[in-house]
């Protein structure tokens, strides 16, 4: 922003004449807000191939409501790890953290990597935070008793990823008391009620290609036999949650942070306090001074901020390229980078510009 408002960094003809058509030559271009050209992004950057190309985000003023579906309070488990998951409503840029571990979200659900448990009582604290604060917290007590170790443990190696992606799973089991052998392995990876695996023994590779975003319940069902045809099989099941994200959701959420800053500054000095929430705390003193110094010119400066035209995203950082038309030369643009990071509270904020 400092570079954008005080001269901007010129990327000499770095941006193609395509932006002239999209930003200058359109009669309505100044009223539009773009989130990259083309509107598709993969982890490596803006390029074709995203599924789907766009999503509808909840309004930023959506009330925050956090629901923890698992675990129940005072639950006793026999595994030394536990996966936390639940649902929420709220703005797209809502961060959810379980015991200081950020959890991926997809606008309605969240799921954690299996968290380590200590023997005895464990306190699980789940905190949801929005860009403007207003955190909500739910706590649960979970008791780990190694003597209650389950016969079957089925886990996802990648509890969350961007779709499409191939996800690996692990399956550990022991023969229950009184049984002599494993006779059948059934696995439903995507929770559609159809077993993708039905075999006498586990496959050498346990993996599944998730083609689209969603919140999936992967379930393994194992049958054990005591060798006596007159007794029923013993069946054990274990499930794991897999949250497949869409890059479009993340991309538009990130663009919303930048454009949210712009909108909050457009009313002028009255919007500075709110706009500061879009920045990481370390940046706020510097930009508060810059914005205050602009005085009555802040509205005009905010209106002249450009559009996001390119970018790259990783799991916790992103860099967007913003283009501003050069009023002196048709087809030329000034450009400046905007770097965003996901904070300890799970919320995306601008960390550099």
167-205 tens-digit pLDDT: 999 999 999 999 999 999 999 999 999 999 999 999 999
CB atoms within 10 A of CB 290: 16
* Better-scored residue on pLDDT, 164 or 255: 255
Band of pLDDT at residue 343, cut at 50, 70 and 90: very high
The architecture CATH gives domain 58-148: Sandwich (2.60)
Q: Which CATH number is associated with domain 150-245?
A: 2.60.40.10
Band of pLDDT at residue 37, cut at 50, 70 and 90: low
Q: What is the pLDDT of residue 117?
A: 97
Angle at 107 between CA 104 and CA 110, to 5 degrees: 35
Query: Could you write out the DSSP letters of every residue in 77-127?
Result: ESSSEE--EEEEES-SS-EEEETTEEE-B-SSEEEPPPEE--SEEEEEEEE
Residue 238 has pLDDT above 90, yes or no: yes
Q: Where are the domains of the chain?
A: 2-55+248-352, 58-148, 150-245
Q: What is the pLDDT of residue 52?
A: 58
Residue 338 has pLDDT above 50, yes or no: yes
Which of 267, 304, 272, 300 lies closest to 285 in space, CA to CA? 272
The phi and psi torsions of 223 (rounded to 5 degrees) equal: -110, 135
Please state the rounded mean pLDDT for residues 44-56: 54
Q: Which CATH number is associated with domain 2-55+248-352?
A: 3.10.450
CB atoms within 10 A of CB 201: 9
User: pTM to 2 decimals?
Assistant: 0.83
Instruction: Return the DSSP state at 148.
Output: G
- 126-144 pLDDT, tens digit each: 999 999 988 999 999 999 9
């Amino acid at each position: 922003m400092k570079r954008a408002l005080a001269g901007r960094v010129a990327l000499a003809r770095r941006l193609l004449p395509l932006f002239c058509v999209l930003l200058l030559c359109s009669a309505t271009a100044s009223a539009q807000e773009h989130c990259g050209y083309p509107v598709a992004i993969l982890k490596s950057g803006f390029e074709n191939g995203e599924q789907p190309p766009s999503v509808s985000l909840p309004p930023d003023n959506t009330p925050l409501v956090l629901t923890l579906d698992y675990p129940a309070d005072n639950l006793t488990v026999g595994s030394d790890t536990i996966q936390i998951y639940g649902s929420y409503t709220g703005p797209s840029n809502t961060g959810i953290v379980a015991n200081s571990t950020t959890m991926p979200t997809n606008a309605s659900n969240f799921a954690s990597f299996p968290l380590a448990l200590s023997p005895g009582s464990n306190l699980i604290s789940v905190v949801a935070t929005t860009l403007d604060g207003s955190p909500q917290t739910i706590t649960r007590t979970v008791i780990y008793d190694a003597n209650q170790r389950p016969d079957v443990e089925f886990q996802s190696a990648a509890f969350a990823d961007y779709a499409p992606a191939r996800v690996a799973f692990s399956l550990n089991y022991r023969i229950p008391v009184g049984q002599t052998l494993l006779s059948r392995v059934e696995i439903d990876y995507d929770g559609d009620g159809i077993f993708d695996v039905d075999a006498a023994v586990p496959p050498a590779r346990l993996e599944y290609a998730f083609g689209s975003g969603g919140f999936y319940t992967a379930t393994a069902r194992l049958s054990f036999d005591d060798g006596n045809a007159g007794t029923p099989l013993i069946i054990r099941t274990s499930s794991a949650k897999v949250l497949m994200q869409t890059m479009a959701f993340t991309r538009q959420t990130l663009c919303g942070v930048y454009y949210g800053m712009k909108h909050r500054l457009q009313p002028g000095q009255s919007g500075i306090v709110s706009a500061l929430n879009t920045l990481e705390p370390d940046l706020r003193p510097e930009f508060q001074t810059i914005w205050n110094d602009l005085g009555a010119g802040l509205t005009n400066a905010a209106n002249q901020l450009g559009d996001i035209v390119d970018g790259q995203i990783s799991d916790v950082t992103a860099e967007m390229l913003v283009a501003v038309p050069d009023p002196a030369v048709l087809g030329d643009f000034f450009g400046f980078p905007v770097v965003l990071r996901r904070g300890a509270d799970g919320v995306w904020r601008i960390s550099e510009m």
